[in-house]
Structure 1
Amino acid sequence: MESLFGDTYEPQDEKSRLFADVILPVPIPKMFTYKIPRNLAEEVGIGYRVMVQFGQKKVLTGIIGKVHQKPPKEYEAKTILDVLDTYAMVNPLQIKFWAWMAEYYCCHIGEVMNAALPAGLKLSSESKVQLNPTYDADTSPYPLDEREEVILQALATKAELTYEDCQELVGVKTIHGILKSLVIKEAIIIFEQVKDKYTPKVENRIRLCHPYASDKQALERLFQEIAAKPKQEEVLLKYLQEIPVYQNPALNSKGVEKKVIADAGLSMSSLKTLIKNGVMEEYKLIISRFEDKEGSGEEIKLSEEQQRALNEIKQGFQDHQVNLLHGITGSGKTEIYIKLIEEALASGSQVLLLLPEIALTTQMVGRLQEVFGSRMGVYHSKYSDNERVEVWNGVISGKFAFVVGVRSSIFLPFDSLGLVIVDEEHESSYKQYDPAPRFHARDAAIMLSWLHQAKTLLGSATPSFESFFNARTKKYGYIQLNQRYGDAKLPEYILSDILVDKKKNLLKLDFTRVMREKIQEALNKQEQVLIFQNRRGYAPYISCEDCGWIPECEHCDVSLTYHQFSEEMRCHYCGFKENVPKVCPACGSGKLAAVGLGTERIEESLALLFPEARVARMDLDTTRSKYGYQRLLEDFGAGNVDILVGTQMITKGLDFDRVTVVGILDADRILYFPDFRAGERAFQQITQVAGRAGRRERKGTVVIQTRKPDHYVFDAVMKGDYKNFYVNDMTERQKFFYPPFVKLIKISSRHKDYKTAEKAARHLHNLLSDIQVRKIMLGPEKGLIGKIKNQYIFESLVKLDKSGNAQAVFKQELQRILEEMYANKEYRSVRVVVDVDPY
């Protein structure tokens, strides 16, 4: 039996008591030890889900992290209530990964488990029970006892029951055994929240009854009997057209979807009659949510430049576990990825390809599915919980040897990873900010890869300074791609000065003369345009022109963003919203005006400036639905949209051959942000969005609207001079102690009372200052946004020396100090958030 640390244990005496250390989905600093019942001793192991009692009333799903014979000294161990699995849902490597993540990101392993497991794999006393839609008491092979029948009868009249409802119905203290039995008998399904309620994808199908499918004479007699009923005859003929039972009677078992009859415009009442008369039968079939697709098996042909890069990557993997592929936009990194994935799969290894955004998965997934078909799984947050559980189980069963996903896919139950690829590795959306663990998926993926002894490839046209620093210091291998695929030309850059146009009265609806001309030229040639503005909504805020009043969120220290389409003002931090006032609440004036530019307002302006153009918008508001991204991108790719306005979503990896003009409306917003990475992020975003232009034989144009055309970042972008830009910025970082020269940890104290939050922050800051390691402490200061969701925020920033054991010592002492603080009544209600690598 394998432990958390990889060693094995075999009990010497079968009768000796076994204990399990169980990981629970709660923010506690350690695993809890439970007794393993003797009757379950042979059924448990590391990675099995178990039901346990936690506290007086709570029942939770835990994961066994270790099996041993040592009873706990501090408390009397409770007994595991039940085992939920017949095989491990989590493997020992995952548990090691969780333990590393908890330690590195200063959180608890239970919080990591909570983030890692799909909700459909977690069961607790907050769980609810529903009747399995496919359960049929008449055909079920499993007998029910009286208590099980009571629960099913109640579910026949009520859509769902709580855990406690079930206990009261049958009059028992613990219901888990009865519920487990009903789950095994496929009579019920358990879920946690309404959004997690399991709804299997079911097809209503029909087929011929015996003997008509296997006996030709019986079928011919049937046609004679219904000759006078042409509508029934049509239904039968349509079925035989779809399922030629004359040629192959075995095909009948599959049947056809019931809607085939309806779609053909045939009589559904005649079908009902045929079913009633025993000629046909209707049945339900649960099907996978993922289509089975055959890969095309097409041979990917690489250019000479791509083949050189591929050879260098393979060579690099011999010397380095991590390699950085620095390929300019449009250089064809995807084809190189495909070659590497094919080779890894052929060797029997699993592969994980990380993408920063769901928007990016839409195009990339389509491309990869053509090659890999149903061997490939897709994992992201827009999928329902049911779909995520299917992918999880697909990785365990071996159905999916290759997974494409966003940051949460690092938690999937891989057991033999051979290759991890992190595309657009510089992207800030790889960072999870809330809740814990507040991890960076790129960094976590590198550790996951190391645990599996796998190789990692980081890909980007504009690498993060940390990754490029590691490449320059030979920690990572480094490969460059300097040519666009198919000899496509790099775009031409035009800086358009907003202030100059404003003085000359040439600025119209926030668009400069050059921007309008270039858009019109593209439209005249029936080419497409991308407009980038990193702010959604109609305008950042509305303001009273007479008294200057600006509406603010009731719960956060931010102004409300005006959304014209829904006629409301919304807080993008807590979700608070209210209707737009008709008059100013402060002075009664009716002069309320929208200030600033949001994507919604830009969309409206473009419709006025170019009435002949078809304009669409891609931001969080227009892509909330599951396939919102996909539909927009398909419309754009098909040429049904001339101008696409978008936020960061449009900067990443999209590839459309008719896009020749890219407009960046307010580049200064990216540049002048209070963040030491502002220059790096501005260079990355502008270069990435510019890379969407002219990706085939047509040369692209990028128009950048700015009030500071002489800024050094624009000069670096236009020259494509990443290395010099990096060297200049790194000099500043080294001088003022910023990453990659130090490790940053941000510690926030949050409380509904301003003074309590401030006092706790100062107390914690003083205690941390006494830790004897090389460090710089800044703060505590009121947060950049001082209040979010009615919680006042004070922050301290720690700059830790990267050499020696400074990080390990500081994190250990931080954990001890936090435990002491929470034991103090004065600070118990203060929420302390620790964010490692916060920016």
Structure 2
Amino acid sequence: MENLFGESLDHESTATGLFADVIIPVPIPKLFTYKIPKNLKDDIGIGYRIIVQFGQKKILTGIIAKVHQKPPAAYEAKPILDVLDHHATVNPLQIRFWSWMAEYYCCNIGEVMNAALPSGLKLSSESKIQINPTFDSDTSTYPLDEREELILQALANKGEMTFEDCQVVLGIKSVHGILKSMVVKEAILVFEQVKEKYNPKVESRVRLTKRYAEDKNALEGVFQELSSKPKQEEVLLKYLQEVPVYKKPELNTKGLEKSVFSEANLSASSLKTLIKNGILEEYKIIISRFEEEEPEDVEIQLSEPQYQALKSIKEQLKEKNTLLLHGITGSGKTEIYITLIQEAIAGGSQVLLLLPEIALTTHIVGRLRKVFGSSMGVFHSKYSDNERVEVWNGVLSGKITFVVGARSSIFLPFDCLGLVIVDEEHESSFKQYDPAPRFQARDSAIMLAWLHQAKTVLGSATPSFESFFNARTGKYGYVGLTQRYGEAQLPEFQLADVLIDKKKNLLKLDFSRLLRESIQEALSKQEQVLIFQNRRGYAPYISCEDCGWIPECEHCDVSLTYHQFSEEMRCHYCGFKEKVPSSCPACGSSKLSAVGLGTERIEESISLLFPEARVARMDLDTTRSKYGYQRLLEDFGSGNVDILVGTQMITKGLDFDKVTVVGVMDADRILFFPDFRAGERAFQQITQVAGRAGRRDKKGKVIIQTRKPEQQIFNQIFQGDFKNFYLQEMADRQRFFYPPFVKIIKVSTRHKDYKTAEKASNSLHNLMGDIQVKKILLGPEKGLIGKIKNQYIFESIIKLDKGGNAQAQFKMELQHLLTELLAQKEFRSVRFIVDVDPY
């Protein structure tokens, strides 16, 4: 005898029942075993979504990871409450991927599940109240007060109410005390009502009933009856105009959306009467939130360098699983991607194209949609829960075979992935910092491809040192593209020495003479300009000119960033904000001035310097809305904006014909940041933003403002000399033990009490020192930012040998140490955060 899972069951084992190991979205390092009720055993399988009770009151969505016949030894298994779907929502490969991620990134599989499933696929439980069926007000020992009587009367009418409903009935903010009293008096019961978050989009349609659709004479009789009712006649004529049922009878099956009648200003009551009288019938259908689009017949024409690169990619992928496509900005990597995607889909495989930012996604989607139509899905955080669930279900059903997405798209339910492309693979935004899992999407995508036995192509004009190292050592394949597509030429670079301009009084509103003249020349030719400053807000901070006071966040060890537009100062770490004071709180002086440069201040300066120019700003503040990026890019692409000021959002992926000048406002801030990757990031960001200039037949110009023009890195950027820059940096990394020669793990200890955080950090650090693997242990030190959200932070850095099993052993023993420390009373409220590959 076999069950649904292909497992052989004898009569004796069947009697003991079936059990399921369930993944639950909680930060606990184990699976939980639940009993499968007999009435559900034929409806359950691995990857199914189920409802389970967790603890005393919580109702949660779980995913079945394993089915077996062994009851748990330590506790009595609770029964599964219900099954949510008639099919698996998650496949076994996904569960393997989640397990790998939990192990590699030192977190729990429940945390991975929480990140992986769109919230629309997770259930929520909502507390509600109802009248206790055994309650009798006449015989009750405890009389009800006036407010309790009001609640009871409302319940008699409604049947059940939420806590919020009770607040409305009583007109007060807090009802918990009153409801608690009613529970004690046994007047009401509190229960958890499970609600499915995902709601499909439903469309109301109408069509002719069968009688009139099949009998023309009967329909003519209706028109005779309606001759005295012109409004109903108009509605019926509108339907027949849109749906010619006698020429094409099959169209009546699809009917017509009800909204067509309201848009034509036809009577809603007349439509309702026709439905009531059985002439038209109303029905509902579930429709997609995305427009159905047929692919256009787009011919991809490759230049000779592109064709040779494509040929080499195919050859090398026969031997290698992963390949680095190192193509300079504007070399036409996207056309190569499209060709590879088309061939993979034609071979019956799914494809994932991973992009680091939504800004990139919005720009490239239109181009790809023309080629792939509705078989392509887009997945990123700006989509609503319902939209993300639809993409998830589209991949699950096979309707979507190609996905373009940000880092979260690696969690989609692929079952036959053949190709993964990671564009701009060097981007730091592929790293998830908070909450767990703190994964690197590029590295995770390579693992995902390996699980599917798929191929991975990493693309970049400025590869990460790790990927370039793997290519040079033969682990990855390597293809270089050194020519821009078509007639486009590489831009001309120029340095503007800010200090010299300042001495000569030529610096105006932080703009050098060279940059101002270049912008003016571009505007006179009706060309466009990009200005890059990787700091949002008006200024990094404000300061009192008399006493030096600087406003700081109440909850973090950082200064507040000044935002002039909203007239407030904000913390970019915890969100705390306050109004700008009219005078210095420390000395009373009214001499408060903004210090430093933010995108908002640069936007204002440009408007003063070039009043005739149309200026826009692209940063986190201007793109918070769902279509914020899209609207800005459309305005810029259509020529409605002359100068676009932005943070690193503008450094990649943008392809506009008229951009001829790019200005980098403060290159020193990127270059001298206290991070071993500072040089690498400076090379990448400046090269990427420079690549936005002169992408057609016009030669572009890049102006870099700096106080240190003698820095060697500038010459290497100008010459595109990535290789020598890489060799120079790698020599330092090897000498001082930094990636890619070692693996780094950062362990942060956080607590609201400084001494507790420090003691916990020292205790863990000493215990980690006893782990017998080859390592370098640094710290613990106070974090670069010592306090965030009222939590004091201490950090230890571990550099691990890349060979052997040092990493796996260290991670395993570290998890045991953390469990031991958290079991100690004094450290129970301490947060230990493990970040693998943190930089």
Question: Normalising by structure 1, what TM-score?
Answer: 0.90
CA distance in 2 between partners of 1:157 and 1:476 (Å): 57
CA distance in 1 between partners of 2:127 and 2:798 (Å): 41
1:10 matched residue in structure 2: 8
Cα distance change, pair 234–309 in 1 and its aligned pair in 2 (3 A): same
CA distance in 2 between partners of 1:477 and 1:316 (Å): 6
CA distance in 2 between partners of 1:26 and 1:161 (Å): 30
Contact preservation (8 Å) 1:48, 1:88: yes
* 2:805 matches 1:819: no
Say which SS state the counterpart of residue 510 (structure 1) adopts: coil
* 2:319 matches 1:313: no
* 2:565 matches 1:559: no
Structure 2 matches for 1:278-289, cutoff 5 A? 280=280, 284-289=284-289
* 2:663 matches 1:683: no
2:391 matched residue in structure 1: 391
Deviation at 1:808, TM superposition (A): 1.1
* 2:196 matches 1:190: yes
Structure 2 matches for 1:292-691, cutoff 5 A? 292-691=292-691
Kindly provide the CA deviation profile for residues 411-442 of structure 1, in whole angstroms up to 9, marking residues without a partner as x.
Answer: 11111111111010000000000000100000
Deviation at 1:318, TM superposition (A): 1.1
Q: Which sits farther off after the overlay, 42-51 or 563-572?
A: 42-51
1:692 matched residue in structure 2: 692
2:106 matched residue in structure 1: 106
Deviation at 1:43, TM superposition (A): 2.2
Q: Which amino acid aligns with 2:196?
A: I
CA distance in 1 between partners of 2:48 and 2:189 (Å): 26
CA distance in 2 between partners of 1:510 and 1:280 (Å): 69
Say which SS state the counterpart of residue 196 (structure 2) adopts: strand
Kindly provide the CA deviation profile for residues 781-814 of structure 1, in whole angstroms up to 9, marking residues without a partner as x.
Answer: 1101111110000000001111111111111110
Say which SS state the counterpart of residue 486 (structure 2) adopts: helix
* 2:715 matches 1:715: yes
Deviation at 1:71, TM superposition (A): 2.5
Say which SS state the counterpart of residue 250 (structure 2) adopts: helix
Q: Which sits farther off after the overlay, 63-72 or 427-436?
A: 63-72
Percentage of identical aligned residues? 75
1:31 matched residue in structure 2: 31
CA distance in 2 between partners of 1:764 and 1:8 (Å): 46
Say which SS state the counterpart of residue 486 (structure 1) adopts: coil
Q: Which sits farther off after the overlay, 402-411 or 233-242?
A: 233-242
Q: Which sits farther off after the overlay, 767-776 or 273-282?
A: 273-282
Q: Which amino acid aligns with 2:649?
A: M
1:146 matched residue in structure 2: none
Cα distance change, pair 494–827 in 1 and its aligned pair in 2 (3 A): same
1:789 matched residue in structure 2: 789
Kindly provide the CA deviation profile for residues 648-686 of structure 1, in whole angstroms up to 9, marking residues without a partner as x.
Answer: 111111111111111111111111111000000000000
Deviation at 1:218, TM superposition (A): 4.5
Structure 2 matches for 1:216-235, cutoff 5 A? 216-223=216-223, 235=235
Cα distance change, pair 488–223 in 1 and its aligned pair in 2 (3 A): same
Deviation at 1:92, TM superposition (A): 0.9
Q: Which amino acid aligns with 1:355?
A: L
Deviation at 1:619, TM superposition (A): 0.8
Structure 2 matches for 1:4-83, cutoff 5 A? 9-13=7-11, 14-83=14-83
Kindly provide the CA deviation profile for residues 106-162 of structure 1, in whole angstroms up to 9, marking residues without a partner as x.
Answer: 111111111111112222545899xxxxxxxxxxxxxxxxxxxx9996579999999
Cα distance change, pair 463–252 in 1 and its aligned pair in 2 (3 A): same
Q: Which amino acid aligns with 1:771?
A: I
CA distance in 2 between partners of 1:161 and 1:473 (Å): 67
Kindly provide the CA deviation profile for residues 549-574 of structure 1, in whole angstroms up to 9, marking residues without a partner as x.
Answer: 11111111111111111111111111
Cα distance change, pair 621–803 in 1 and its aligned pair in 2 (3 A): same
CA distance in 2 between partners of 1:208 and 1:738 (Å): 73
Question: Normalising by structure 2, what TM-score?
Answer: 0.90
CA distance in 1 between partners of 2:219 and 2:6 (Å): 64
Kindly provide the CA deviation profile for residues 226-247 of structure 1, in whole angstroms up to 9, marking residues without a partner as x.
Answer: 5677666555544433322342
Deviation at 1:580, TM superposition (A): 1.3
Cα distance change, pair 213–640 in 1 and its aligned pair in 2 (3 A): farther
Deviation at 1:258, TM superposition (A): 4.0
Say which SS state the counterpart of residue 794 (structure 2) adopts: strand
Deviation at 1:298, TM superposition (A): 2.1
Deviation at 1:250, TM superposition (A): 3.1
Cα distance change, pair 619–2 in 1 and its aligned pair in 2 (3 A): farther
Deviation at 1:815, TM superposition (A): 0.8
Q: Which amino acid aligns with 1:479?
A: V
Q: Which amino acid aligns with 1:527?
A: E
Contact preservation (8 Å) 2:2, 2:8: no
Contact preservation (8 Å) 2:522, 2:528: yes
1:771 matched residue in structure 2: 771
Kindly provide the CA deviation profile for residues 561-596 of structure 1, in whole angstroms up to 9, marking residues without a partner as x.
Answer: 111111111111111111111111111111111111
Q: Which runs of 5+ in 1 are unaligned?
A: 130-149, 180-188, 192-197
Q: Which sits farther off after the overlay, 211-220 or 780-789?
A: 211-220
Deviation at 1:471, TM superposition (A): 0.3
Contact preservation (8 Å) 1:530, 1:661: yes
CA distance in 1 between partners of 2:162 and 2:309 (Å): 64
Contact preservation (8 Å) 2:48, 2:90: yes
CA distance in 2 between partners of 1:670 and 1:49 (Å): 46
Q: Which sits farther off after the overlay, 788-797 or 559-568?
A: 559-568
CA distance in 1 between partners of 2:346 and 2:65 (Å): 32
Deviation at 1:204, TM superposition (A): 4.6
2:133 matched residue in structure 1: none
Q: Which sits farther off after the overlay, 15-24 or 627-636?
A: 15-24
Deviation at 1:829, TM superposition (A): 0.9
2:92 matched residue in structure 1: 92
Deviation at 1:267, TM superposition (A): 6.1
CA distance in 2 between partners of 1:828 and 1:173 (Å): 31
**Residues matched between the structures, number:** 797
